[in-house]
């Protein structure tokens, strides 16, 4: 039997896939949380449409990544890439609109 941490991670991956499907999007969870089972990099836990997802669930995330009054948080490390963080519902809504 998998450890409680692994079970929690697997459940979160299934949650993401199921939520995407509720939006009418194509979503697949990689067998064993290993993207190689989908022909992708091992870091890939699931796909939503053509996008790869690495799912991370934590007891608590850094407070600077959560903003109650904005839709997107943009962040980067010095001399690094910029990332956009948003609520999964906003992300799935945008994908659904793009899919048209």
pTM: 0.88
The label of the residue with tokens 């949380």 reads 33
Give the pLDDT score at 100. Answer: 82
User: Is the pLDDT score of 1 beyond 80?
Assistant: no
Give the pLDDT score at 83. Answer: 95
Overall average pLDDT of the 35-60 stretch? 96
């Amino acid at each position: 039997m998998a450890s409680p941490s692994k079970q929690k991670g697997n459940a979160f991956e299934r949650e993401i896939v199921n939520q995407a499907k509720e939006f009418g999007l194509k979503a697949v969870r990689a067998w064993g949380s290993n993207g190689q089972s989908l022909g992708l990099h091992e870091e890939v836990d699931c796909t939503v449409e053509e996008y790869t997802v690495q799912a991370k669930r934590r007891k608590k995330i850094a407070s600077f990544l959560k903003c109650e009054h904005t839709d997107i948080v943009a962040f980067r490390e010095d001399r690094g890439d910029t990332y956009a963080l948003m609520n999964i519902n906003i992300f799935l809504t945008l994908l659904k609109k793009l899919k048209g």
